[in-house]
Structure 1
Amino acid sequence: MGLDLSHWEQSARSSWRMAVLVGANTRTYKFALGAALLDAAAEGQPDILLRDLAVPYAMGLVRHLGQAPQVSQNGERGEKDFLSVAEREAAESLRLGSPTEELLAAAIQSMPEMVMRKFHNLRGEGAGVPHRFYEVTGRSHERVVLLSRELRDIAQSEQAATLRGELSARWSIVETSFAAGIGQSLIREGVAVDMTTLQITDRQRRRSVAGVTDAVIGFQHGPCLICAELITPEDTIAVDHVFPYSFMRLLRLDEQGTTPDLDAIWNLAPTHARCNGQKSNRPPTPGEMTRLAQRNEAIMQSPVPLRKTLELTLKDNKHSSSRPGEWPRFIQHVRDLL
């Protein structure tokens, strides 16, 4: 079954977000590649040697190896597996500030087939993003990566910093789901939000995973949920309770005797601070409810643990977590409880 991409725009920026945020993750290679591509494209050059792109790619992975696993624990790895090489060469590469010869050679050899061929793919047979961001040409060590006009445009746009933040947050979330002793709890329980720090955390260990804004803004395509205008790096950002948290005491019990948690991810959305201040304590407008539902439907297309967190919200409130279009119904249900 393919992904439902109806809530995604058709712009190059949205294609980039789909590549980073949507699709199965058994390893974190696409995040290391994405970070390296954004940095290369920001220089404005139309191409880069694969050897030169492999340097930040490999170094990004070895830096993250010291923080958390970069691969699902479900399979065994041989000595020649790229991550096995990276683990052996990590300490020396970090000391040098650049990949060792062995690590660089392993990256150059493995990148084209292991990650670059799959970067544009989404979950589901034949599914892929509408735009392509690079092509690999040449052979062996002489391979060249042609950077598309679309990639260079987004890497040099005012949204570039936001896209980097989204990628970093998604990388951290996937790492956390891979971590021993944490992965299964995340799959079973989802994640929570520490409202003091606005950090997404593991429910069991209260371990910080990523900031709420960076983790979810890509799923609402970058705009403020209130005014629907783009949030730029110059803007002060607030995380809005779409249904104000003060409404918790006003919510009536539904027929199952439950009330939704308004402090959960499903009800939190990045906004302009000025819009958040003007909104104050009012209930959401129909437009805001629609945008929140679309954002949550988009998250439901992503891998765990964010998807699992939203599924649990629906399940805990006796709603179907798999029926298409469930979020508009659930959000209207919450509005009806006021």
Structure 2
Amino acid sequence: MPFHTFMDDLGGTVSQFYDVEPSLDNYWRSIILFGNNVASYKFALACSLYELSNSSDDFISLEQLAGPFSRHICEHLKEAPKQTTSRSSKFLAACSDFNLGRVDQDYLCAQTVRLGFQNVIDAFHNVNRREVDKRFFIDERKTSNKGIRLTEDFYTLMASEAINSIKPETNARWRLVESAWQLGLARNLLRVEHDHHSKQLFTHRNDRRVNITSSRDSLNGYQKGRCFYCFDHISIQSGASDLADVDHFFPRAIREYVPNIDGIWNLVLACKSCNRGANGKSALLPHIDYLARLHARNEYFINSHLPIRETLIQQTGKTEALRKGFLQDNYNQARPQLLHIWEKPEPRGPMTF
């Protein structure tokens, strides 16, 4: 059956990410994955809110927020000096001075209150040029309080099982973005690759391999914490009984017929039952119905911008039509090499992408 017949209703828009399953964790994931990235402040704010979720008061002053916010920025600056697309930042300069011992904690916190939150609090809930339907905090900086107030939706999210995956997803996204800035994509498009044995994403810098982050942590958010094939819940926590497998949609056994088979475009997370259970996919080719799902997931990558977007465009095509054709062509090449097709398992959760 032609691939295009499965693609007629796919718009590839960011809003589909949370409209299909408008849960709190998917609204939050849309902020982390698709929100505008001109500086890493969004990630630092998210990580700070994770820490402050146990506060006895739902009101968080800017002074309270400044401590963890600046600490997260300072820690990342040690490994990745470029945390913004702008040429200079007085706030980042203060963080660098703190790392070098030139200023003390009090000075850093004062500069963070004055400079660190100028844009990030306003823009945090904006995705695809509009605000998401759920707010996780209310901006009260224009009141006498001078801070933010956490909402019930925020506390509900923090109490959910999904937060155990969302936290490492946030750090993985941060690592990917800062790696792109550090290499300078305008001059040298970042090629993000997957190591089949270590399950790490990596790139090359000055002819040297540089590990970026866990493949599981990077991929999980785009699949909303569910198995690619059956939509059962999966975990990315080491040692968990439902730890996800990193699966190659097109099996590695046919890598001579499929270009960039270890590319992110071909990686999905699957539950153990679907990937290597008694009736699992193993080294079989999935039913063609899954090709539309793979395309939809990859379009989420494209819409999340740096740096996975650039990697996928390099590997699969500059336009959506070319990317569809790339998948269909590879399926046509793979089909004669693999005699048996893996049929669809019974869904164990709602179809979310």
TM-score, structure 1 length as denominator?
A: 0.83
Say if 1:240 and 1:117 are closer, same or farther in 2 by CA, change over 3 A.
same
3-state secondary structure, aligned to 1:188: coil
Correspondence list, 1:1-338, <5 A: 4-9=13-18, 10-42=22-54, 45-72=57-84, 74-77=86-89, 81-92=90-101, 100-123=105-128, 126-138=129-141, 142-179=145-182, 182-184=183-185, 187-203=188-204, 204-232=207-235, 233=237, 234=240, 235-249=242-256, 251=257, 259-277=258-276, 278-315=280-317, 321-323=318-320, 327-337=323-333, 338=335
Contact 1:26–1:72, Cα closer than 8 Å, also in 2: yes
Amino acid at match of 1:160: I
3-state secondary structure, aligned to 2:312: helix
In structure 2, stretches of 5+ residues that fail to align are 1-11, 336-353
Q: Give per-residue Cα distances to partners, 1:88-140, cap 9 Å, x unaligned.
A: 1224499xxxx7111111112234423111111235xx423232211121558
Q: Give per-residue Cα distances to partners, 1:173-214, cap 9 Å, x unaligned.
A: 1121122xx223885242222222121111453211111111
In structure 1, stretches of 5+ residues that fail to align are 252-258, 316-320
3-state secondary structure, aligned to 1:201: strand
Say if 1:39 and 1:301 are closer, same or farther in 2 by CA, change over 3 A.
same
Match of 2:347 in 1: none
Amino acid at match of 1:299: F
3-state secondary structure, aligned to 1:270: strand
Match of 2:349 in 1: none
Match of 2:341 in 1: none
3-state secondary structure, aligned to 1:225: coil
* Offset, 1:310: 0.5
When structure 1 is superposed on structure 2, of 135-144 and 149-158 the one drifting more is 135-144
Q: Tell me, in whole angstroms, the C-alpha distance in 1 between the residues paired with 2:14 and 2:125.
A: 14
TM-score, structure 2 length as denominator?
A: 0.80
3-state secondary structure, aligned to 2:127: coil
Q: Tell me, in whole angstroms, the C-alpha distance in 2 between the residues paired with 1:336 and 1:114.
A: 48
3-state secondary structure, aligned to 1:66: helix
Q: Tell me, in whole angstroms, the C-alpha distance in 2 between the residues paired with 1:136 and 1:210.
A: 32
* Offset, 1:45: 4.8
Q: Give per-residue Cα distances to partners, 1:3-37, cap 9 Å, x unaligned.
A: 92254023221121121111432211111101011
Q: Tell me, in whole angstroms, the C-alpha distance in 1 between the residues paired with 2:117 and 2:91.
A: 13
Amino acid at match of 1:103: L
Say if 1:156 and 1:239 are closer, same or farther in 2 by CA, change over 3 A.
same
Say if 1:248 and 1:23 are closer, same or farther in 2 by CA, change over 3 A.
same
Contact 1:176–1:209, Cα closer than 8 Å, also in 2: yes
Contact 2:225–2:234, Cα closer than 8 Å, also in 1: yes
Match of 1:255 in 2: none
What CA RMSD, in Å, does the superposition of the two structures yield over aligned residues?
2.6
Amino acid at match of 1:84: A
Amino acid at match of 2:244: I
Q: Tell me, in whole angstroms, the C-alpha distance in 2 between the residues paired with 1:120 and 1:110.
A: 19
Say if 1:141 and 1:208 are closer, same or farther in 2 by CA, change over 3 A.
farther
Say if 1:138 and 1:5 are closer, same or farther in 2 by CA, change over 3 A.
closer
Contact 2:77–2:83, Cα closer than 8 Å, also in 1: no
Q: Tell me, in whole angstroms, the C-alpha distance in 1 between the residues paired with 2:56 and 2:17.
A: 27
Q: Tell me, in whole angstroms, the C-alpha distance in 2 between the residues paired with 1:171 and 1:189.
A: 15
Q: Tell me, in whole angstroms, the C-alpha distance in 2 between the residues paired with 1:76 and 1:92.
A: 20
Q: Tell me, in whole angstroms, the C-alpha distance in 1 between the residues paired with 2:180 and 2:189.
A: 11
Equivalenced residues, count = 311
